[in-house]
Structure 1
Amino acid sequence: MGYWVVDDPALAREVLLDPETFRPDNAVLAHTPLSVKALRVLSGVGFALPPTLANNAGESHRPIRAAVARFFSPARVAAVEPLARELTSARVEAASVRLAAGEQVDLVHAIAADPPALVLLHLLGVADVDVPALKAWSLDSLELFWGWPDEDRQLELAHSAAEFYAWLRTRTTAARKTPGDDLFGTLVSLGLTDEEVCAVGYFLLIAGQETTTQLISTAFHRSVGELIEPAGVVEKVLREASSVPTWRRVAARPTVIGEAEVPAGAPVLLGLSGHGGPADLAFGIGIHRCLGAGLARLEARVALECARELLAGVRLVDEPPMIDLLSFRAPKRLLVVTDGNTGDN
């Protein structure tokens, strides 16, 4: 794949805790180099991802991170649990009705998809968002930056990413005219450029909800036909099959990882889950640890608690297709029927 791969959890931890030697400069670069046509589409909306959060090793990282972290304080995350439970319970109830009528139900689309987005937007104070569009933008952008799309597919994905970025530009312009205390108003008040505000919004609005949908989807997949203990399932999935199983760094100078001599400029791919490490490593460690770790754990637990009885009484119709990207992996859909149903309806 063109990376120095670090699967040992202890070594991955060492790399993450040494941001001077192992910089995050490549964290959000396109894994598959973008074609001229795709780049032209992106440049048409001024698409740019300057260093802000995941890809920032400079002095601006700390104030940007501190400003965003306030939206994800432990108190705010705890306070949002009733909303997460209400949103999920309503979708579980609707799915249960359909299943009882003999229908096949996709648990990803029916239950896992929307609540994380709605909860995130609530926490960030961002209103009037087309959630289906946000979900589509998110999946397309993940594929564009972490997938293996050919040139034709890149062009499709670039148009989607450009549409998302244009929307972020509109929100940033509005925040400059009428400052508020939502995400965009907070970022504008820091004195960030339009490109920096959009870069924060771009990946925060993706990572803050789509990776949680994927975590919930994997947890659902492992729980079909079982009467599970929700918190235990969440921790097991984080240890063994996190929705973000890898992450990238680049060596700033010649160094050693374990017994391997790594040259300057070497791209490094870290295994975050599935290699015997602790559940917490799935969220990274150090100055770039995922700001939404507590929120993701809460939402996944709530989803499993709400769907516990439903999951115990259904079976998969087929082996689910997967989202299978460099750093993101989860079932794309989970088509189920009630246990005993033939699934022909």
Structure 2
Amino acid sequence: MNWERRLYLTAHPFAYPLLRGIARRGAIVRVPGLGVVVNDAALARDVLMDGETFRKDGPGSPGDLWTPVLGPSVLLNMEGEAHRRLRRRLTDLFVPSYTEELCDRVLAEPLERLGGRLRRGEAVDLVDAARVMAAAVISEVIGLDLRTEAAHRDLFEQGERVVSMVSLRTRRLSPAQVRRAREVLDPLGDAAEKAYLGDESTVMGRMRALGLSRDEARGAAGAFFLTGTETVATFIPRLVALLHDHGRLGQAAADPALLDRAIEEAMRVTTPTPVMLRSVHRPVAVGGVAVRPGDRVLIATHNCCRALGPFDPGRPHPPELRRLWFGAGPHFCIGYPLAMAQIRRVARAVLGAAPLVITRRAAARGVLIPTYRHLAVRSESAPAGEAA
């Protein structure tokens, strides 16, 4: 049973078959109603590297989607010199030394609880555990004072309600959807602004020290919240499931180098950003197809990544594919170090209880990023306990 395919079909029963069908029509295809679809990794990287021609602030781009919610000054919807200035100021936020320290501090207790449950032989739902820990990290980034797992679950669910408004076909949110999103994000922005005015050892306080305005800091906090929780929380259960289903759990638990390769390979297979959008601002040819100003370019990241084949941690990635799921060029994900720091810690804690068996799982419906509704694992080296 191909669980990854099942996850995509459950999340996007109509759009996913269409997306995969378009992949069979060529490296780049003009599709009425969608735009120009790029299915080739090398062409996708060319588009992403050219921020002057292919932009995020034009018709049909992410700017159409998120500017009404987050405001005009976030990296998700900016281009040109303004984008470069803001990105330069944000670059030092998530240097590896800071993200490592932040994750060590925030995740120490949750990981100890997770490891203890597995050692006692309990069946642990990795979906719930990953959501709680992802929300704990992002709440620290934003400056929220949340102390309980229940509060972290609630925070994650708030973000999930916003992100679930978007499908693979969504061009913009309706006024009602914008209002609902603002009802979630405005209180978080207030908390972020309070942290911005406080201690410079916090992420938000460091933004003030780096010269960001209050509005820029609020927008950044909202963007981090929307993009930072879902990616990590959905990926961890899928990583463990892929290792389990391909008989690699024991190897990854015993070999840290293999685990690092498996994480990169699982990122390719799961493709946390299935599509990326750009708006064309000047005429150019891409892969022999002419695109014009105003055209919408849909980079089918999932098609680009899956073209390499099934999950295989031993196979190297070609240069054009390298971390394409996090973008490339001027918009490469600024939160990449933070996401990877979280993923490595949780993966090591889970695999530390190997050998593991999956006791139950089900695919989630009504989500943007395909994921499990639940995925329970139990350590076979521990006495059997009660299911989570």
Q: If the length of structure 2 is used for normalisation, what is the TM-score? A: 0.70
1:115 maps to amino acid: M
- What residue number does 2:315 align with? none
The counterpart of 2:335, out of the listed 277, 284, 292, is 292
Q: Secondary structure at the match of 1:162?
A: helix
Query: Residue 81 of structure 2: SS of its match in structure 1?
Result: coil
CA distance in 2, matches of 1:173, 1:292: 20
Q: Is contact 2:362-2:372 (8 Å) kept? A: no
Q: Relative to 1, partners in 2 of residues 1:261 and 1:87: Cα closer, same or farther, differing over 3 Å?
A: farther
| Whole-angstrom CA distance in 1 between matches of 2:364 and 2:155 | 21
CA distance in 2, matches of 1:338, 1:172: 39
Once the two structures are superposed, the pairs formed by residues 178-193 of structure 1 within 5 Å of their partners are 178-181=197-200, 182-187=202-207, 190=211, 192=213
What are the equivalent positions in structure 2 for 1:153-172 lying under 5 Å apart? 160-171=180-191
Q: For residues 133-155 of structure 1, what are the alpha-carbon distances to aligned partners after superposition, in whole Å with 9 as ceiling and x for unaligned?
A: 32112212212244679xxx979
Higher deviation after alignment, 138-147 or 153-162: 153-162
Local SS of the residue matching 2:213: coil
8 A Cα contact 1:52 1:60, kept in partner? no
The residue aligned with 1:59 is 81
**In structure 1, what is the equivalent of residue 374 of structure 2?**
333
Matching residue of 1:2: 34
- Listed as ranges, the matches of 1:226-245 within 5 Å are 226-229=249-252, 230-245=259-274
Q: Could you say if the C-alpha distance between residues 68 and 265 of structure 1 is closer, same or farther in structure 2, counting changes exceeding 3 Å?
A: same
Partner of 1:219: 239
Structure 2 CA distance for partners of 1:173 and 1:293, relative to 1, 3 Å: closer
For the residues of structure 2 that align with 1:20 and 1:156, how far apart are their CA atoms? 33
Deviation at 1:287, TM superposition (A): 1.2
- Deviation digits for residues 55-87 of structure 1, max 9, x if unmatched? 100322223223322220122123345336624
Q: Once the two structures are superposed, what CA deviation does each residue of 1:78-126 show, in whole Å capped at 9, x if it has no partner?
A: 334533662453242354267x35xx542110x211223323444x372
Relative to structure 1, the CA distance from residue 94 to residue 320 in structure 2 (aligned partners, 3 Å threshold; closer, same or farther) is: farther
Structure 1, unaligned runs of 5 or more: 32-41
- Other-structure match for 1:30: 65
Task: Determine which of 194, 201, 208 is the counterpart of 2:228.
Answer: 208
Q: Write the distance in 2 (CA, Å) between the matches of 1:242 and 1:232.
A: 15
> Aligned-pair distance for 1:292?
1.8
Aligned residues of 1:172 and 1:188 also touching (Cα < 8 A): no
Query: Which amino acid is the alignment partner of residue 27 of structure 1?
Result: P
2:38/2:299 contact within 8 Å kept = yes
State how far apart, in whole Å, the 1-side matches of 2:300 and 2:344 are.
Answer: 24
Aligned equivalent of 2:96: 74
Could you tell me how far 1:209 is from its partner in structure 2?
2.9
Task: Give the drift of 1:3.
Answer: 3.0
In structure 2, do the counterparts of structure 1 residues 239 and 24 end up closer, same or farther at CA, with 3 Å as the change threshold?
same
Structure-2 change in CA distance of 1:314 and 1:73 (3 Å)? same
CA offset digits 1:292-322 (Å, max 9, x no partner) = 2222223222222111154632224244225
* Aligned length, in residue pairs: 320
CA deviations on 1:190-242 (whole Å, 9 max, x unpaired) are 36363x43322211122223211122122122133632412222011122212
Is the contact between residue 236 and residue 279 of structure 1 (CA under 8 Å) also seen in structure 2?
Answer: no
* Alpha carbons of structure 1 residues 160 and 16: separation in structure 2 relative to 1, 3 Å: same
Aligned to 1:197: 217
2:127 aligned to which of 84, 102, 108: 108
Residues 322, 333 of structure 1: 8 Å contact kept: no
Distance 1:204 1:85 in 2: 18
Matched with 1:39 is none
Check 1:213–1:59 CA distance in 2 against 1; reply closer, same or farther (3 A cut): same
Aligned residues of 1:24 and 1:55 also touching (Cα < 8 A): yes
Letter in 1 for 2:127: V
Structure 1 match to 2:157? 136
Match of 1:86 among 105, 108, 122: 108
* Separation in 1, partners of 2:84, 2:34: 31
Q: Which runs of 5+ in 2 are unaligned?
A: 1-32, 253-258, 309-319
- Offset at residue 17 of structure 1 (A): 0.5
Does structure 1 conserve the Cα–Cα contact (< 8 Å) formed by 2:142 and 2:192? no
Instruction: Measure, in 2, the Cα distance between the counterparts of 1:77 and 1:24.
Output: 27
